[in-house]
Amino acid sequence: MRQSLDRNTHNKNRQDDVSTWNSSHTINISIDKNQNQPNKCQTTRTIPSSTSIQPMKVHRLSKEDWKRSSKLIPNYNRLSPDTFKQLILKNIPTTYHDQIQRYLAHIDSLECVRQLANLWCHFFQLKIEEDYWNYVGNLSTSIMDWLSEDVSKEIIQQNSIDWDRRKTKSNIQYQIALVQNKLQQTEYNILKHLCQLSSMFDLKSNIRVKHLIDIIFQAFAIILRNDLNPFKIHFEQKKLLLHFNIHDAYLVKSFYDLNPTEKQIHLVQQIWRTKLNSCERLLREKTKRIFPDNNPTVNMNLLFVDDFVPVMFAIIEARLVTIEQRTQVIMEFINTSSQ
pLDDT in tens for each of the 339 residues of the chain?
444 444 343 333 333 332 333 333 333 444 343 434 433 333 333 323 222 323 333 333 334 455 667 788 888 989 998 999 999 999 999 988 988 888 888 778 888 889 999 999 999 999 999 999 999 988 867 888 888 877 888 888 889 888 887 788 888 999 999 999 999 999 999 998 888 877 776 666 677 777 888 888 899 899 999 999 989 998 998 899 999 999 999 999 999 999 999 989 999 999 999 999 988 888 888 777 544 545 545 555 445 545 788 899 999 999 999 999 999 998 888 776 665
In this structure, what DSSP letter does residue 159 have?
A: T
The overall pTM is greater than 0.75 = no
Q: What pLDDT sits at residue 39?
A: 39
Residue 70 CB-density burial (10 A; 0-12 exposed, 13-18 middle, 19+ buried): exposed
Three-class secondary structure of residue 65 per DSSP: coil
In angstroms, the CA 73 to CA 296 distance is: 37
Is residue 295 within 8 Å of residue 278, measured between CB atoms?
yes
In angstroms, the CA 146 to CA 167 distance is: 11
